[in-house]
Amino acid sequence: MTTLADGRPATGRPPAHRRSPARRPRRTPPGTVAAVVLTAVWTGAAAVLALWWQDTPAVAGTAAWLTDAGRITGLLAGYAAPLLVLLMARLPFLERGVGADRLARWHAMGGRYMISLVAAHLTLIIWGYALTGRTGVVTETADIVLGYPDMLKATAATLLLLGTAAVSARAARRRLGYEVWYFLHLATYLAVALAFAHQLANGADFVSSPAARACWYGLYLGSAALLGWYRLAVPFRLDRRHRLQVAEVRPEGPGVVSVFLTGRHLEELRAEPGQFFRLQFLVPGLRWAANPYSLSAPIHPRYLRFTVKDLGGHSRAAARLRPGTRVRAEGPYGAFTAARRRSRKVLLIGAGVGITPLRALFETLPAAPGDLTLLYRVSRAEDLLFRGELEAIAAARGAALHCLVGARAEIGEPLEPAALRRLVPDLAAHDVYLCGPEAMAATAVRALRAAGVPRGRIHHESFAF
């Protein structure tokens, strides 16, 4: 069944290729990996606090309280730094078990906590030392920076972290392209490396404890090794194995193209509908940035299809790629897959180019006729992507396709509780996969919750970075 909000008749053409729905693989229950990871993180934080407790027989006086509070915040900031690196190290079990979208939110939240801990550490340590030495704050700051081992490197690290935090603020981030934001964040790796030495040289908890130093070395060097392996070695090995290149660039709509990649041994990638790859197009100006693009069709033995909208310099250049252009791909990543599903019935909600991963899921999610629905929201009819393909899939599978076309001033708000209930009977019994611009996703989540859909059944893929 296909309906359009603007009332025009639906026409269709066959999809680019057809895949019969596959059986759902047995997976770890949703949320298990995330729960294990969070438990490990909090256990580690408790161990860090135990390190301070063991090395602190007593705290007496204002100066000692301030200094010890500075020690605690410094230890926790030092513990958080390699964890934040690991969240973005593209570890397969995290990317697939937790999801890149959720990892990015954890990373952003953890980054705010770490910056707060660093600021508190600096303030409390300087203030406590100044009271102990009966000096002024400015004099004490100069003495610490210039007189303590490795403090010049630590100062540079702090400035780099504060600068990265400034460009990561929501107001600043909206003005940055993905590529600029990506390169600025590489500075955080340098900041973590620069800050490491001063922790061991000046931290009282490490100076007196060889075991604590060994654990700290293990945490930082282990994180660096995993980062190097999964961010450098594995992509290089995959590049040599699969030798991906552009086969075709096909226009799909205004500012939107599909990029077809061909290569060797593509079946070994084991990519699932709903996942994405980070692609580096090996041409001047693009080879140093790896941008995330979702599969817009199930993986094919001979090619991969990605659909790209002009949202920045990297994606804009994709429309000008020529057949034969070499491509380095990292992935597949993401947990926006059939494994998240908990219910028999499934609703997919997409807006704009957010239809990309949903188009692949619409074709492959196991579902009986009548159990699968896709809502596709666009402002203009010309912005509908894959219209013929979606209609053909809906007809073949007995699925419902609702194209919600038009500005709010013309058709109202289609993503509100009453409208969703009219379009999707028994809405609260559905799992919902949601992908689209941030404002649309927030509106849809609020409406779904108001309509009775449990939060654990709303699976969200975000475009935000």
Closest Cα partner for 414 from 375, 462, 457, 382?
375
In this prediction, residue 314 carries a pLDDT of 62
pLDDT under 50: residue ranges of the chain: 1-25
- Rg of the chain on CA atoms, in Å: 26
410-451 pLDDT, tens digit per residue, is: 777 888 898 899 899 899 999 999 998 888 888 899 999 999
In this prediction, residue 202 carries a pLDDT of 82
Whether domain 243-333 has CATH 2.40.30.10: the reply is: yes
In this prediction, residue 401 carries a pLDDT of 93
In this prediction, residue 290 carries a pLDDT of 77
Tokens of 176: 């940055």
Burial letters for 353-363: b for 16+ Cβ neighbours within 10 Å, e otherwise? bbbbbbbbbbb
144-197 pLDDT, tens digit per residue, is: 888 888 889 989 999 888 888 877 766 566 666 666 666 777 788 888 998 998
Instruction: Please name the residue that has the structure tokens 């294990």.
Output: 36
DSSP state of 275: -
| Domain boundaries along the sequence of the chain | 2-24+341-462, 32-237, 243-333
Note whether 2-24+341-462 and 243-333 share their fold.
no
CATH code for the domain defined by 2-24+341-462: 3.40.50.80
Beta strands in 254-391 (DSSP E): 256-262, 276-281, 291-294, 304-309, 327-333, 345-351, 372-378
Instruction: Please name the residue that has the structure tokens 């009548």.
Output: 370
